[in-house]
Chains A and B, each alone.
Chain A
Amino acid sequence: MKSKVTVKNVTKIFGKSPKNAIKLLQKGYSKSEILKYTGATIGVNNASFEIYPGEIFVVMGLSGSGKSTLIRMLNRLIEPTGGQIFIDDEDIVKMNTQQLRDVRRKKISMVFQNFALFPHKTVLENAEYGLEIQNIRPEERKKRAQQSLEIVGLEGYENQYPSQLSGGMQQRVGLARALASDTDILLMDEAFSALDPLIRKDMQDELLELQETMKKTIIFITHDLDEALRIGDRIALMKDGSIIQIGSPEEIMINPANEYVERFIEDVDLSKVLMASHVQKRAERIMSDRGPRAALQIMRDQGYSSIFVVDRKQKLLGVITADDASNAIKENKTVEEAMQKEIVTVSEDTLLIHVIDALATSVLPVAVVDAEKRLKGVIIRGAVIGALAGNKENLNAKEVN
C-alpha cells in the first residue's frame, strides 16, 4: 500500500550545538552522555516509519520519550534538525512558510492534550477557527463547523464558552475543530489523557466509531499502553527519542523487541490483548466414519481423555471422550453415534478474556473453529493460564507473524 506519511531519518536536537550532538549521536553516544558533553537534548533520534491511509498509528512511550516532539515535527510546529517528512510525496521540511501554511490548513489538523480551546471564543467560533483563518465566507464556515459539532454530538452548545463545558465536551470541541477543516490527516497529541477513565473509554469508542465512517489517517500519541492497544492499528514504541519497535498490538505483546518493551508491557492485561489463536494447540481429531476403537487408540497414544470428531472437510461435528468410546465398543456404535454434539467453540480472534468464560462453562475441551466451523485447534487450560502469566512458551508466536 502507498503510504500517506513517510518519515525518514528525522532527528530533533534541542540546545545550542546540534551539530556536535549529531556527531556524537552517530558515534553511538547515549542521550545522557550527549547532554553531559554538549548540553544538547536529543528530542527525537533518527526516526523512520511509514503511515498508511486510513490507519490509526499510535506513537507510544513514557514521558520524555520524544513522542510529542515527533508528532509536532509532522506539521512542523517543531522544526526537525535533520531528516525528511513526506506527506503525499511532498517533503514538508523543505517547504516555505506559505506552502507549509497551506498544508496545515488543508491536509493536517491537530487535537491537543489540554484541548487548547480559545477561551474567548464560543464553541462554534472555536470549531470554525480553522476555516476562519482561511477566509472562508461566514455562512459557509458556520455550516461546516455546525456539521462537525453534530458529528461529535455537541449540537445545542454552539454559543457556550469552553469554560462552561466539561472536559469530555471540551475535547469534543477540539475534535470538531480539527474535523471542520476536513483534512485527511489528524494528529492527536495525548488527546484523551486529561480525561477521567470512564470518559476516556467513551471517547476512544467514539473515535473508533467515527473512524469507521471517516477513514482518516490518524496519528495518535499516548503514554497509556491500554489505550494504544485498544485503538491502534499499528503501534510505534519510543524510548529516549528512538523508535524501538513498530508493529501491530499483538506483535508488540508477543514479540517484544527488547527487554525495555517487555518491561513496558509487563503490566498490561494480557487477557484483553491475546486471542485464542495465540494459545490454541493442535487438536487431535478423528473422522466421523471411523470406529470407536481407533478413537480410543489415538487417545491412549496421545494421553488424551477426549478427541474431536470432524468430517472430511475438517468441519467440527462433536467430541468423543474415552468413556464414550469404551461404551460405544460395548454397544457397537459408531463414533458419530457415540460423540457429544453440544460443544463450546470460540473463533481464532476471540480475546482470551472471553475464552476464559468459555472454559469455565464447559467440562469438555473448547475448540477453536473458523467461520466455516472448520476445526483449527483446541484450547488447553494450562496454556491459557501460562500465557496470562506472561510465559511466552505457551504462545504460538510463529503462527501470528
Chain B
Amino acid sequence: MLPEIPLADWVDSFVHWITIHFQTFFSSLTQIIETLLDNLVKVLGMAPSLVLILLITILAWYTSRWTMGLFSLLGLLLVDNLGLWDATINTLALVLASVALTVIIGIPLGIWASQNDKVKQIITPILDFMQTMPAFVYLIPAILFFGIGVVPGILASVIFAVPPTIRLTILGIREVPTELIEASNAFGSTTWQRLFKVQLPLAAPTILAGINQSIMLALSMVVIASLVGAPGLGAEVYRAVSQIKVGAGFEAGLSIVIIAIILDRISQNLRKPVYGKTISKKYVYGLFAALLVIPYLVTSFGGNTTEKISPNNVGEQVQYEITGIDPGAGLMTATAKAMKDYNLKDWKLKEGSSAAMTAELQKAYEQKQPIIVTGWTPHWMFAKYKLKYLKDPKESFGKSESIHTIVRKGFKEDNPNAYKILDSFYWNPTDMEEVMVDIQNGAKPEEAAKKWVVHHPDIVKKWTQGVQKGNGQKVSLVYVAWESEIASTNVIGSVLKNQGYNVTLKQVEAGPMFAGVANGSADAMVAAWFPTTHKDYLNTYKNQLVDLGPNLKGTKLGLVVPEYMPINSISDLENK
C-alpha cells in the first residue's frame, strides 16, 4: 500500500515558515489595515446616525429612483431602531475596505491578464481554486498571519470576493471587438492609449458588473469573518446562532439583507444614475467623496486624542485586549463579568472562536509575545505550552466546573442499555488530556479515542458492566467543536459502538447542541459545562432535558497567559 502523502504536514510547515519569516510584513500590514478601518468606522460613525442614513438615502435616490431612496430610508431607520447601527457601520466599513482592496488588486490583475495570454492561463485556475475552496479555509492561515480581529476577515473577504472582478475585467476587455482594437492600433496608439481610450471605456459596464458581484460576495463573507473576530452584523448573527436566539438572528439577518439590497442597487446604477441627466454625476459623487474623505483626513491626521490612562506595562503590551472565543460561550460572559469586577473598563474582549484563540496563542507563544486569552481546563494547550491561570481573587469565574452528561427525555425508556452506559460514564481530566494530546499531534479523533479505549479496559469496564449488548440501535450524540468535547464524545461513542450500537456524532454550536437534545433530534451529549459556561442554555431548556450528572470534575475557567509573562493575578491588570 502507498504511504499516506503528508500534505497536511507540508502545508503546516509552509505556513509556519511564512508566519515566521514574514512576521514584520504581516504585522505592519495588519497595522495599516486596522488603522484605515478604524478611521473609516470613526468617520462613518462621527455624525449622528441620521446624517449617514440621509446621505445613503440621497445616494440611493439619485442612482436608483425614488422608490429605492424610500426603501433605504425606511430600512436604515429600522436598523437604527433595532440598535444595530454600530454593527452596521462596522459591516459597512468592512465591506467598503474589502471592496476597495478588491478593486485595487482585481482590476490591475484583470487588465494584465487581458493583455497577456500567459498570465491569463496562470490566473484562471487560481481563480477557480479561490472560488471553490470553502471560505473557512482561508481563515485558518489568515489567523496565523494576521491574528484575530477584522484584518483576517477583510483579507478572507478579498480572496473570496476578488475573482468576479478579475474575471469580468478580463472578459470585458477581451470582448472589445477586434476591429476596434485593430482600428486603435492602425492609427498608431500605444498600449496605454489603446487601454485607456478604447478598451477600458468599452469594458466599463462589464467591469462594474464584476465589482457589483464582488460587493455582494464581500457582504456574504461578513458572517464567516465574524468567526475570527470581525465585528459587525455578522458577529450578531454568529452570536445568535450559537445561542439559538431566533429573534436576534432574524434582526441581524434582516439588517444584512437591507444593506445588501442598498449596496447592490447603488453599485449597479453607479455608472448610469437614474437622475444623472438632471444633476451631473460629477457633482454628486464629488460631494459624496468629499464628505467621506475630508473627515477621514481630519481623523487620521488630526492627532490621536485617545490617550491611555495609565502606563500599565502589560496592558499596553497586549493593547488592552483579551483574546476570547465564540461570543455565545459562558466563558465569555464570565470574562465580561471579570472585566467589570476588576475594573478593566478600557480593555476589550475580542470575540472569535476557540480555534482562532489557540491560533493567536500559538503565534504569540512562538514569538514570546505577551498575550492574554480566555482559557479552560481540560485543554491540550496546557500540555503543549507552558501556561498559567491568572489568579482570580474575586472569584469572577466561579469555582471549578464540571462537565455533565445530558440525554433527551424518554431516552431511558427507548434505549435503557445505552442510557446505563451514558449514566455511568465518568473519567478524569488526565484521561481526557491523553486523548486530546493525541488528536493535537495529528491522530484522527476516532483513532485517538479507540486507542484510549484499548489502553484503559478497566475504566471502560466500569461503564459497561452488567449492561446488555446493543443490537444496532441508533444513538446520536452531539458535541461542540472544543477539543475536550471532541475527545470525550469520541471516547464514549467508541465505547457505545463496541457495545453494538449504531452511533452517529454531530458537531454543532453550543446552542444547537442543547436545542437538539431538548427537541429530541439528538439523543445525548457529554459536553455540558455547569454551572457557569452553559448556564443560560440549561435555564432555557431545563424541563426538556435529563441531567445525568457530571462525567468529569475539576475543570477550570479563567484568564490564561504564557508562563513567561510577569503577572500572576487578574488584579495585576487593573490600572493603578
Contact = CB atoms under 8 A, between A and B. Distances in A.
Nearest to A134: B188
B202 interface: yes
Interface string B165-200: 000000000000101101111111110010001100
B182 A109 contact: no
A155 to B, nearest CB: 22
B566 interface: no
B201 interface: yes
B98 to A, nearest CB: 30
A65 interface: no
B183 A110 contact: yes
Contacts of A75: 186
Nearest to B187: A130
A378 B420 CA distance: 128
A379 B278 CA distance: 74
A161 interface: no
A104 B185 contact: yes
A202 interface: no
Contacts of A134: 188
Interface in A121-154: 129-130, 132-134
Given A119-B202, A120-B202, A133 B182 contact: no
- Name the residue in A72, A77, A177 with the highest tally of chain B Cβ atoms < 10 Å from its Cβ: A77
A329 B521 CA distance: 135
A113 B186 CA distance: 14
Contact of A181 (B177, B180, B187, B198): B187
A108 B183 CA distance: 12
A62 to B, nearest CB: 21
B186 A77 contact: yes
Nearest to B179: A116
A132 B197 contact: yes
- Name the residue in B187, B188, B189, B193 with the highest tally of chain A Cβ atoms < 10 Å from its Cβ: B187
Contacts of A108: 186
Contact of B187 (A72, A109, A117): A109
A105 interface: yes
Interface string B419-457: 000000000000000000000000000000000000000
Contacts of A109: 186-187
Given A112-B179, A114-B179, A77 B185 contact: yes
Nearest to A132: B197
Nearest to B194: A133
Contacts of A112: 179, 182-183
Contact of B188 (A104, A119, A177): A104
A116 B189 CA distance: 15
Contacts of B180: 116, 118
A133 B179 contact: no
Contacts of B185: 77, 104
B183 A133 contact: no
Interface string A319-360: 000000000000000000000000000000000000000000
Interface residues of A, number: 27
B169 to A, nearest CB: 17
A134 B197 CA distance: 13
Contact of B186 (A104, A117, A118): A104
B182 A101 contact: no
A97 to B, nearest CB: 9
Interface in A80-115: 101-105, 108-110, 112-114
Contacts of B188: 101-105, 130, 133-134
Nearest to B178: A116
A90 to B, nearest CB: 15
Interface string A41-85: 000000000000000000000000000000010010100000000
A102 B185 CA distance: 11
A203 B355 CA distance: 75
B181 to A, nearest CB: 9
Contacts of B182: 72, 77, 110, 112, 116
Contacts of A101: 188, 190
Contacts of A187: 186
A110 B186 contact: yes
- Name the residue in A116, A117, A119, A181 with the highest tally of chain B Cβ atoms < 10 Å from its Cβ: A116
A105 B183 contact: no
Contacts of B177: 116
A148 to B, nearest CB: 13
B272 to A, nearest CB: 13
Contact of B183 (A116, A132, A181): A116
A117 B177 CA distance: 10
B316 to A, nearest CB: 56
Given A116-B180, A118-B180, A120-B202, A133 B186 contact: no
B427 to A, nearest CB: 69
Nearest to B190: A101
B89 to A, nearest CB: 37
Interface string A260-292: 000000000000000000000000000000000
A116 B178 CA distance: 9
Contacts of B193: 133
B190 A133 contact: yes
A103 B185 CA distance: 11
Given A101-B190, A104-B188, A112-B182, A133 B197 contact: yes
A122 to B, nearest CB: 13
Contacts of B190: 101, 133
A112 B185 CA distance: 12
A134 B190 CA distance: 10
Nearest to A114: B179
Contacts of B189: 133
Interface string A173-184: 000010001000
Contacts of A104: 185-188
A171 to B, nearest CB: 13
A82 B92 CA distance: 59
Nearest to A102: B188
A241 B177 CA distance: 25
B1 to A, nearest CB: 43
A135 to B, nearest CB: 9
Nearest to A76: B185
Contacts of B183: 110, 112, 116-118
Contacts of B186: 75, 77, 104, 108-110, 187
Nearest to A120: B201
A161 to B, nearest CB: 13
A16 to B, nearest CB: 14
A167 to B, nearest CB: 14
Nearest to B191: A97
A133 B197 CA distance: 9
A330 B3 CA distance: 129
A117 B202 CA distance: 12
Contacts of A103: 188
A266 B438 CA distance: 90
Contacts of B187: 104-105, 109-110, 129-130, 133, 177, 181
A267 to B, nearest CB: 30
B4 to A, nearest CB: 42
Contacts of A102: 188
Nearest to B198: A118
A103 B190 CA distance: 13
A113 B189 CA distance: 20
A177 B189 CA distance: 14
A182 to B, nearest CB: 12
A110 B197 CA distance: 18
Interface in A227-252: none
Given A109-B187, A112-B182, A133-B197, 8 more contacts: A72-B182, A104-B187, A110-B186, A116-B179, A116-B182, A116-B183, A133-B193, A177-B187
Give the top 6 A-B pairs by smallest Cβ distance, nearest first.
A105-B188, A104-B188, A116-B183, A116-B179, A130-B187, A110-B186
Interface of A: 72, 75, 77, 101-105, 108-110, 112-114, 116-120, 129-130, 132-134, 177, 181, 187
8 contacts: A102-B188, A109-B187, A114-B179, A116-B182, A118-B198, A129-B197, A133-B189, A134-B188
